[in-house]
Structure 1
Amino acid sequence: MSFSQALSGLKAASKNLSVIGNNIANSATYGFKTGTMAFADMFAGSKVGVGVRISNVVQNFNDGPTITTDRGLDVAISGNGFFRLEAENGTIFYARNGQFLLQPDRTITSMEGFKLTGYPVDNGVIQQGANPVPITIPEGILGAKQTTQGFMQVNLSSTSPVITAPFEPSKPDTYSWVTSTTVFDSLGNAHNMNLYFVKTADNSWEMYYQDGSVANSPVVPDPTPTVPPAPPAAGIPITFDTNGNITSINGSTPPDFTFDITTEPLNGAPSFTFSLDFAKSTQQNLSANSVSNNFQDGYAPGEFVGFQINDDGTIEGLYSNQQRQLLGQIILASFANPEGLQPEGNNVWSETRSSGQSRVGIANTGSLGLLVSGALESSNVDQGQELVNMIVAQRNYQANAQTIKTQDQILGTLVNLR
C-alpha cells in the first residue's frame, strides 16, 4: 500500500509543479489569473488512507495591478466583470485581457481575433438593454447639423450715446455696435449673421440683423423707407431696467428672451430659421460693448479622424469639425461563481453550469467594476509566493520518493531473511 500512496503523492506533486510553472510562465500575461492546486485524501474502506488525488485547480480572480499604457485600444477592468467576446462561429467567450485590435473590417477584436461586443447606437443614443453585438468603428463623415437654436450673452455699454440718425448698415455712425454669430445650414454652409445694435434712449435699444455670408442680403427689420415715403421700420426692441438687467426683447418678457432669425439661401441650401436667446444679457458701464458667451447647436460636416474609448465603456468617434459621435458601448459580464468558469486558453474562459449564466451590463453599475481606458490589468501572479510554493512542491516530491525508497529497503530486508 505504501507504494501506491507514494506514487499518488508523486503524481500530485508533479501536477502541482505544473500548475506553479504555468503561473510563473504567465506572470507577464495581461489578465491572467493564478491557479492553485486543490488536493483530497483517498480512503478505501479503512481508516488508513491510500494516498492523495487532485480535487481541482482553483483560480484566483482577484485584481492584478493596473498599468498605464496610453494606447487607445487598451482597456483594463478594475473590480468584477469580464469582457464579452464572440468567435466567428458565434461561440461566446469571456476575458480579462483588454488588449484589443482594430481589424480591416472596422471591428474591434482581441489579440486572438475574438470580436468585442457591446450595446449598439441608434440615432446617437446607446441602446442599453439591447442584444449585444460586435462593436464596429465606421469611418464615414459626420453630416452637417443645421442650427436650430443659439445663445448669446452680451453687455451693451450704458455710456453709449443715443443714435438719432436713421439706421443704415453701411454707415457706422447710424448704429452703436455690430457683432456677429456663425450658424450652419442643412449642407453645412456657414452663415455669418451680423447683429447691429442701436441705442435709441436710456435703457432702450433696437437690433437689426443681416446674413453677411450672402451678397446683398436684406437687413431685418428692413429700415428702407417705402414708397410713398414712410418712416423706416423700427428694429427689434430691447429694454433694460435701471440695474442693467434685460426686461424684454421684441416684446418677450422673462423667462423668454428669444426671437427668431431667418437666414438667406446659400450654395443650394434653403433659408432656415433659428431662435436666438439673449437671456443674461446686460447693460453696464463698461468701456466697450462686448460678448461674453456665444453658442449655437449646429456644425459643418466633418471627416473621421479617430476614436476614443471612455472609462464608462462608451466609444466616441472624433471628427475634423471638433464634434464627437457615440459609436457603441462596451459591456461587461459577471457570474455568480467566477471560479466555475472553464479556462479555454488564449486568455479566455467559457460559461459552465458551475459558473452560472452570465449577467451583462455597463461598467460601474450593480456588481460590475470600473473600466480604465489606456491601461491594462497585469497578471495577479505573485512570483515570490510561487517560488516558495515551488520549493514546497519539490520537497513534497522528494519526500514521496523517499517513501518509495524506504519501502523498497524494507522489502529488501524481508527478501533477504533466511
Structure 2
Amino acid sequence: MAFNTGLSGLRAASVDLDVTGNNIANASTVGFKGSKVQFGDLYASGFLSGGTNPIGDGVRVQDVKQSFGQGNISFTDNGLDMAISGDGFFILNNNGEIRYSRAGQFGIDKDGFVTNNQNMRVQGFTADDDGNLSGIRGDLQIETDNLAPRRTTNLRSDLNLDSRQSVLESRVVDFQTVSMGDLTVDDVFRIAYSDGTNSPDITIPAGSTARDAAGIINQQRGLSASATTAVTLGQEFSITDLEDALAAGDTEFRIELDGQNVPISLSGVSSLQGLVDAINASSATSLSASLVDGGSDIRIIDNRGSNVGISFASTDAGVNQPLEVFQGDVNIQSDRTVQDILPAGASSEIADAFAGGDLRITNSFNPLDQRTYNHATSTTIFDSLGNSHELTQFFVKNPSPGNGIGVSEWSVYLQIDGELVAGTDTSPYTARFNEDGTLQSINGDPNGEIVITDWIPKDPNGEPNGADGPPLPGEEVVTPIPEPPTTSAFVVDLGNTTQYGANFGVNDQRQNGYSTGRLSGLDVSDQGVIFARYTNGQSKSLGQVALASFNNTNGLSPVGETTWVETFESGQPIIGAPDTGTLGSIKASSVEESNVDLSAELVNLIIAQRNYQANAKTIETSDAVTQTIINLR
C-alpha cells in the first residue's frame, strides 16, 4: 500500500511540476493566465459505507484551475494593440470557429480585416458609410479608400460683437444749392437733431453774401457749408463786345469783390485767353478764370462766395458795360446728427434746400477698407467637389433705431472668395440685439439664420469650377438643408451671437463640410471604437470592438494560442460593448501581460521538487522494509 501511496504522490508532484513549468514558460506571453493544481486525498470506501480502514490511499489531481486575474497593462507603439482593463474577452473568428482571448496584439491583413497574430479576425459592431455604429456583429474591417468630400450646408458662428464700438458709417445730406439772390428777406430756420433736441432759431440776413451765409451755417452743430460765386461772361455780357474792346487796345476791365476793387493789368492783353491769364495773375487769390464752351466764353469763380462785380469799357471800341454785381451760392451738408431743417417763419430757403437734398454715404462699406467695418471673421467652407473657399463675415455697427434705448443694430455682410453673396452687395442683413445683449433677430428671423442661395463656386480664375451651383429660380430652400444636398445653398447660423461690452471674439465657429482625405492613422477609444483619421482633419468611426463575458469563466476550455472556447460549464457568452455593464474598458496601444508571478512560481517549483523527492523517499523506504522481510529465512 505504501508503494501506491508514494506513486500517487509522485504523479501529483509531477503534474505540479508540469503546471508550474508551464506558468514559468509563459511568464512573458501576452494575455496568458496562470494555472494552479488542486489536489485531493484518497481513501478506500465501500458501497454505502466509509470502510473500516481509515488509512489514506494517497493523493490525486482534482483540477488544474486557471487564474483569470488582471495582468499588468504595458504600452506599445502599435495603435491597434488593445488591452482589456476589467472583465471580458476579445471575440475571434477562426475560420468560422469562435474563440475568446485576452491577448490584444492586433494588426491588419491584406484585405483590411483586423486580426491577431494567428490571422483570426476580431469581431465587433460594424459602422455604416456615415460612421454610425450599428448593433450588427461581424468581422471588423478597416476601409483604406479616400474619404469622399462633403459640401458645407451649415456654418454656425458663436461670437460677440463689442457694444462699445462706435458707428463708423457717415451719412450726409447734400442740400440743393442755396442762391443768395433768393434771400430777399431774412431766412430764419432751426435744426432738429436725431437725439430729439432742437437748435435756437438761426437767421441769415437778407442781402448776405454767400461767404457770410456759409460762415453762419458753419457755426451750427451738424452742418457744414462752402460758398462760391461763378460768373460766365458769355451769358452775362456780350463776349463779342469784350473781344472788340480788347482788340481796340484802350480797354478798362474791372472786378470788385464785396465792393473792393481788384487790380487787373491789361498790358499787352488783346484776346480772351490773355484776359484769363491776367485775372489768374491778379492779387485776388480766391479768383480763378478759364475759357469754356470751346474757348468762346470766360468763366470767373470766387471760391469764397464774395459778391463779384464786373464791368468793362473801351473808348476806341465804343463799348461801355456798366458794373453788374453777382451773388454767390451756398452748398450745405449735414451729418447723421441732423434729422431735419425746419423753417422758423413762413418759409425758409435753407429748409427747402434740405428737403430737396440727396442722401449719400461718405464712407460706405468696402471690404477692402477696414475703416468701413467694425469686425470681421473668416472661415473655410467647401463645395460639392471638396474645393475650399473662404467665407468672411463683416459686421458694421448702425445707429440705434431706438435712439440708443432698448435695441442695438448691426449690418451683416457676407463675402465668399472676394465676392459679396446673399444679396449683401446691395442690401446687408440687419442684426438687432435686445437690451441684455442677446440676439433679437436677423432681418426679422428670431433664429438668426441667413440662407445663402446665390453662391456660384468658382476657381482661382473666377470661373465656375463645375461644382453644384445655386438653386433654380423659384426653387424653395428649406432649413436645415436636407440630405443629400443638391445645390450650393447653405445656412449661416448666427443665433448664438451676442452684443456685450467686451472685446470682439469668436467663441466657436463650426461648419460641416470638408475636402477629400486619405487615411492617415487609427485611434481606439476606451469604448473600443476604432476611428480613422484622415489628412483633411476629419475622423470617422469604422466599428467597435465587441467583448464577451461568461457566468463561469473557469468553465472555458483553453485550446492554445492564448485562446479559449465556450463549453457547457462556462455557459453562453454575454456580448456587449466595452465599458458597459460588467465589461471592462479598452486601453489602446497597450497589451495585457501574463498574470504569472514569476517569484511565486519559482518558490512553487522548489516545493514541487521537495514533494517529488519526499514521495520517492516513501517508495524507497517501503522497498527497504520489503527487502528486510524477503531476507527473513
TM-score between both structures, scaled by the size of structure 1: 0.89
Could you say what secondary structure the match of 1:411 adopts?
Answer: helix
Tell me the equivalent position of 1:87: 94
Q: 1:154, 1:278 within 8 Å by CA — same for their partners in 2? A: no
Could you say what secondary structure the match of 1:366 adopts?
Answer: coil
Give the superposition deviation at 1:339.
Answer: 0.8
Tell me the equivalent position of 1:236: 429
Tell me the equivalent position of 2:413: 208
1:391-406 to 2 correspondence within 5 Å? 391-406=606-621
**In structure 2, distance between residues paired with 1:292 and 1:409:** 94
Could you say what secondary structure the match of 1:120 adopts?
Answer: strand
Match of 2:514 among 288, 299, 306: 299
Tell me the equivalent position of 1:383: 598
Tell me the equivalent position of 2:138: 133
Could you say what secondary structure the match of 2:145 adopts?
Answer: coil
Give the superposition deviation at 1:197.
Answer: 3.2
Give the superposition deviation at 1:86.
Answer: 0.9
1:115-154 to 2 correspondence within 5 Å? 115-122=121-128, 123-128=130-135, 130=136, 132-152=137-157, 153-154=159-160
Give the superposition deviation at 1:364.
Answer: 1.5
Give the superposition deviation at 1:349.
Answer: 0.8
Q: 1:75, 1:371 within 8 Å by CA — same for their partners in 2? A: yes
Code of the residue aligned with 2:439 in structure 1: it is I
**In structure 2, distance between residues paired with 1:194 and 1:371:** 43
Code of the residue aligned with 1:260 in structure 2: it is V
Confirm whether residue 78 of structure 1 aligns to residue 81 of structure 2.
Answer: no
Tell me the equivalent position of 2:624: 409
Tell me the equivalent position of 1:264: 456
Q: 1:155, 1:291 within 8 Å by CA — same for their partners in 2? A: no
Unaligned runs of 5+ in 2: 46-50, 172-360, 401-407, 459-464, 470-487
Q: 2:168, 2:373 within 8 Å by CA — same for their partners in 1? A: no
**In structure 1, distance between residues paired with 2:115 and 2:104:** 10
**In structure 2, distance between residues paired with 1:375 and 1:310:** 12
Code of the residue aligned with 1:346 in structure 2: it is E
Tell me the equivalent position of 1:252: 445
Unaligned runs of 5+ in 1: 224-232
Give the superposition deviation at 1:53.
Answer: 1.9
TM-score between both structures, scaled by the size of structure 2: 0.60
Give the superposition deviation at 1:317.
Answer: 0.4
Tell me the equivalent position of 2:567: 352
1:213-228 to 2 correspondence within 5 Å? 217=419, 219-221=421-423, 223=425
**In structure 2, distance between residues paired with 1:19 and 1:312:** 35
**In structure 2, distance between residues paired with 1:219 and 1:362:** 48
Q: Structure 1, residues 32-85: CA drift from partner, whole Å, max 9, x if none? A: 111111222233434333322222110011111122224312211111111111
Code of the residue aligned with 2:409 in structure 1: it is S
Tell me the equivalent position of 1:180: 378
CA gap 1:218/1:30 in 2 versus in 1, 3 angstroms = closer
Q: Structure 1, residues 90-132: CA drift from partner, whole Å, max 9, x if none? A: 111111111112222211111222111111001311113x2x2
Tell me the equivalent position of 2:103: 97
Tell me the equivalent position of 2:489: 273
Q: 2:422, 2:451 within 8 Å by CA — same for their partners in 1? A: no
Could you say what secondary structure the match of 2:450 adopts?
Answer: strand
Between Structure 1 and Structure 2, whose CA radius of gyration is higher? Answer: 2
CA gap 1:332/1:171 in 2 versus in 1, 3 angstroms = closer
| Structure 1 range deviating more: 180-189 or 109-118 | 180-189
CA gap 1:290/1:14 in 2 versus in 1, 3 angstroms = closer
**In structure 2, distance between residues paired with 1:32 and 1:188:** 49
**In structure 1, distance between residues paired with 2:69 and 2:510:** 48
| Structure 1 range deviating more: 152-161 or 116-125 | 152-161
Q: 1:311, 1:370 within 8 Å by CA — same for their partners in 2? A: yes
Give the superposition deviation at 1:374.
Answer: 1.6
Give the superposition deviation at 1:140.
Answer: 0.7
Question: Hey, which bits of structure 1, 4+ residues long, moved more than 4 A?
Answer: 166-171, 173-178, 284-287
CA gap 1:22/1:327 in 2 versus in 1, 3 angstroms = same
Could you say what secondary structure the match of 2:517 adopts?
Answer: coil
Q: 1:158, 1:283 within 8 Å by CA — same for their partners in 2? A: no
Code of the residue aligned with 1:364 in structure 2: it is D
CA gap 1:180/1:404 in 2 versus in 1, 3 angstroms = closer
CA gap 1:171/1:322 in 2 versus in 1, 3 angstroms = closer
1:26-37 to 2 correspondence within 5 Å? 26-37=26-37
Q: 1:154, 1:293 within 8 Å by CA — same for their partners in 2? A: no
Q: Structure 1, residues 238-269: CA drift from partner, whole Å, max 9, x if none? A: 1223454432211022xx12221232144211
Could you say what secondary structure the match of 1:269 adopts?
Answer: coil
Could you say what secondary structure the match of 2:398 adopts?
Answer: strand
Confirm whether residue 328 of structure 1 aligns to residue 543 of structure 2.
Answer: yes
Code of the residue aligned with 2:496 in structure 1: it is K
| Structure 1 range deviating more: 260-269 or 97-106 | 260-269
Q: How many residues align?
A: 400
**In structure 2, distance between residues paired with 1:109 and 1:137:** 11
**In structure 2, distance between residues paired with 1:135 and 1:10:** 49
Code of the residue aligned with 1:393 in structure 2: it is A
**In structure 2, distance between residues paired with 1:53 and 1:306:** 55
CA gap 1:404/1:276 in 2 versus in 1, 3 angstroms = same
**In structure 1, distance between residues paired with 2:625 and 2:104:** 58
Alpha-carbon RMSD: 2.2
Q: Structure 1, residues 203-229: CA drift from partner, whole Å, max 9, x if none? A: 32222323326xxx5643265xxxxxx
**In structure 2, distance between residues paired with 1:14 and 1:72:** 42
CA gap 1:28/1:286 in 2 versus in 1, 3 angstroms = closer
Code of the residue aligned with 1:250 in structure 2: it is N
